[in-house]
Structures are given as C-alpha cells and as structure tokens.
Amino acid sequence: MAGSEEEKTVFDMEAASALVKELRDTCASGKTRSYEWRVTQLKCLVKLCDENEKEIADALRQDLSKPEFESIVYEIAMLKNSCRVALKELKHWIVPEKANTPLAVFPASAGILSEPLGVVLIISAWNYPFLLSLDPLVGAIAAGNAMVLKPSEIAPATSSLLAKLVMKYLDNSSIRVIEGSVAETSALLEQKWDKIFYTGNGRVARIVMTAAAKHLTPVLLELGGKSPVVIDAGINIQVATRRIIAGKWGCNNGQACISPDYIITTKDYASKLVDTLKIELERFYGKNPLESKGLSRIVNSNHFARLTKLLDEDKVSGKIVYGGERDKENLKIAPTILLDVPLDSLIMNEEIFGPLLPIILVNKIEESFDLINAGSKPLAAYLFTNNKKLKEHFVMSVSAGGIVINDTTVHLAVHTLPFGGVGESGMGAYHGKFSFDAFSHKKAVLYRGFAGDVAIRYPPYTPGKLRIMKALIVSGKRNIIRAVLGWGKV
C-alpha cells in the first residue's frame, strides 16, 4: 500500500520498476484515455477537498504552522478551481484542432490530436505541499495519463495524508503516491517515464535532468529565483506596500517561489517606502510578530540556520531597519526589512525563500532594469508605477517567467496565463489548458484519399516537373500558373 510503513522500507529499484510496469499496463488498456475516466477522477479530487478540508489544514499546520486562511484559500480552494476549470473545458481541449493544408498535398485534410504522454512522474515541493502535489495531477489526469506522485518528505504530515487520500479517492490502478526521501526518489528517477514534472530548487533539478537524459525523458521544471519588486515614486504607497506584504509574508512567510525576494527603489523614495512598510506590517501582524498566528514558521532547523546566516553576515547585520527577531525553538523569524544592502552580500546572491526583504537603492528607477537583467532570470518580476512608458519598458526589457504590474503573486490565480519559469527559474509552464498541454503530445494527423494523384512527384524527374513542384511547395498561385505554362523563372 502506498505510504504504509512496509512499503517505505521495501521501495527500491525493483519495486519502482514493477510499479511503472503496472501503470504502463493500465495505460495500454486505454482506461485513462476515456473522457469518462478523466472526468470521474477530477470530480473525485474535488470530493477529496470537500470532505477533508479540516484534515488537510491540520496537516499543513503541523508541517508549517500555516494559517488556516492560507491553507484553505491558497491551497485547497486553488486546487478546486483548477479542477473546476478542467471539468468545464475538458470537452473542448480534447477535440482535435483543425489545420490548414497547402496546395502541395491537395486534396487533403489535417488535424492536431492531443494524446496522453503515457506514464508520468510528479515530484512536488514542501512549501505548498498540498497544492503543488495535486495541481500538476489535475493536468496529468485531464490529459489522460497514468502517474506517480512523490510528495516532499520535508512536509511529512501532508505527505502521509496525500498518500492516504489519493488511495481512498482516486483510481489506484492509474494514480499512485510513493512517500520517502532520497532513496525512494532515486529509485523512481532510474525508471523510464514519459515526462517528469519537478517543483523545487535548481540543485535537485539538475539531478532530475541528468536522470531524465538517460531515457530522453522530457521534463517540466518549476523552480524559483530572486523575484524583484521595482517601486517608482508617485504611486499609492499604502496599497503598494499592502500588496507587497501579502505577496511576501502573506504567502507562507516568504517561503514561496514567486514571493518578492528584494525591492529596488530610488534613494529619494526609500524612507517613505520603509515607513509605510513598518506601519502596515504592524497593522497586519502586531507589535510582536513572533506571536502572530497569521505567519507560518520556517519549515525546519536547516532552513532556519540558512536564513540566520544571511541575517548575521557582517555586510548586512547593520542594515536591518525593521524586524530581525527570531525564535529558534519555534522556528520563527519576524518579517525583516534591510535597507541599502550591498549587491555582493550573501542575501543578494541566493534565493532568500523566507521572511527577509532587502531593499536596493538606485539614483534613477530605470537603473533597476539593468540590475535585474545582470542576474539569473527570475520566476516573477513586479513593478509598481503609474508611468505608462516605464510599464512598457519593464515588460519589454525584463526577462522573467511572469510579470505583474502594480501587484505581486496574483498572476498565479489566472488560469488563462501560463505559469512557469525561464532560464534558471525553470522550463515549461502549466495552469489551466497549459497543464493539459504540458502532459499531452500534439500528434499531427494528415488525411488523404486516392484521388488527385499526379505524375509530377514521381520519377523520371524532368525540368518541367521541378518547376511545378517548386511552385507547389512555395504555394503561390501565380507561381504555379507560370510553372504550368512554362513562363519565366519560378
């Protein structure tokens, strides 16, 4: 049984191979291809959420001290919405797309058929352990695949619950959960998959890609990076800071891949920004944020130590203008703002993934674009401004997985937009139909009859045949007429 203590101890290479074979047999039967199977499984996912909301929220609280509001809104409700979109649109997604055909193959018709890739592996992350496990599953189910889900062992309560709930609600002949750590993940990565979907960091992503390369397995990588926030003068600073706080500390206390990583603003505007951030942070989390029930804790002692190291570096230790308090026993760090942080500091050279927010100062706001582009391409980039030309320049010149103007993180909820990275922040995208496409193969199909067969495509080749064939391939009507009549050079 997936997730049981017995399976955890015996899941090795042999067990992984047997599991993949079992799932391939299910795929070969055609079971997962049917529209009815896909709809049934998506409805079962919704039922899983509806009937276990409290249990899911409790598991997230155990793993991250995640506030119930964040658990329900940002994990459970968002998953249900993904299912709702897929259930509503699936009948349209699976219809073959019509394709135009050139004169060279006349008479003919053509289409593009979305077919399931086969058996896929989904390796999820710990920061949103429920959503990031099951949201990719929605796309894999909608596309008609069989799959294995490997939840993160760093969120053990949610991992255990996922194993139990998937077994109870979904089709176990097609969908399985394997719990465990490095050994189990390694055994899974040794197998031949039709796609691997990994959410996490760049270090592990390289391991995943190396393993996938052995079998030429395509991968979709959802990573992260240092997502910048550029703040121009002349904006509604209160609204801007509230939206920054919501995206930074209101998203798992900064432990989110699209969380604002650092701010860039002008020297002239910095004091106003910092003062407003202080006011709004105190309004949201009180005078002692370590006691606030609205903030998640740091996931474990290793990440707490990593964040503490960033704070205690000599280059930044005197730059703290707000917060900095920490509670090692309860793994809590207060929202922390650092002003005028050196670019060569540790905090500016790795993804923070926590409640620390450095502010970089520039003379002119346009200097921020070059600063951003000098580093790795981020998963998200944010700009607050009322300047139309600045918005256009930002969108055209800054390369990021996604861009939001005058807000943070909310693009995640727009299912009509692809969600994914570029460069170091990932490859591929999902959400809405993009999830369906991520787990589908676009198969080209051309239909021809036996009429219209002409001698010009067959030997013996002649100059006249060559002229006509060149004109047909170029598909210009005037060229074809000239070629047939032997006029001029085609």
Cα Rg for the chain, rounded, in angstroms? Answer: 27
Cα–Cα nearest to 87, from 55, 147, 47: 47
Phi first, then psi: give them for residue 422, nearest 5 degrees: -145, 140
Query: Exposure string (b/e) for 166-184, b if CB count within 10 Å is 16 or more?
Result: bbebbbeebbbbbbbeeeb
Find all residues with CB under 8 Å of 161, minimum gap 6, and list them.
52, 55, 56, 59
Among candidate residues 184, 222, 351, 424, the one labeled active-site is: 222
Is 392 one of the annotated active-site residues of the chain? no
Is 83 one of the annotated active-site residues of the chain? no
Q: Tell me the three state secondary structure of residue 294.
A: coil
Report the C-alpha gap between 228 and 247 in whole angstroms.
Answer: 12
Among candidate residues 184, 257, 351, 424, the one labeled active-site is: 257
Are the beta carbons of 289 and 295 closer than 8 angstroms?
A: yes
Q: Tell me the three state secondary structure of residue 32.
A: helix
Are the beta carbons of 378 and 259 closer than 8 angstroms?
A: no
**Burial of 34 from C-beta contacts in 10 A (0-12 / 13-18 / 19+):** exposed
Cα–Cα nearest to 221, from 36, 21, 401: 401
Report the C-alpha gap between 411 and 394 in whole angstroms.
Answer: 17
Find all residues with CB under 8 Å of 466, minimum gap 6, and list them.
none
DSSP class of residue 312? Answer: H
Both tokens of residue 297? 């804790």
Query: Exposure string (b/e) for 116-155, b if CB count within 10 Å is 16 or more?
Result: bbbbbbbbbbbbbbbbbbbbbbbbbbbbbbbbbbbbbebb
Cβ–Cβ contacts within 10 Å for residue 80, how many? Answer: 17
Q: How many CA atoms lie within 13 A of 339 on its CB side?
A: 16
Phi first, then psi: give them for residue 229, nearest 5 degrees: -125, 120
DSSP class of residue 297? Answer: P
Element (H, E) at 357: strand 356-362
**Burial of 470 from C-beta contacts in 10 A (0-12 / 13-18 / 19+):** middle
Both tokens of residue 236? 């509604």
Active site residues: 222, 257
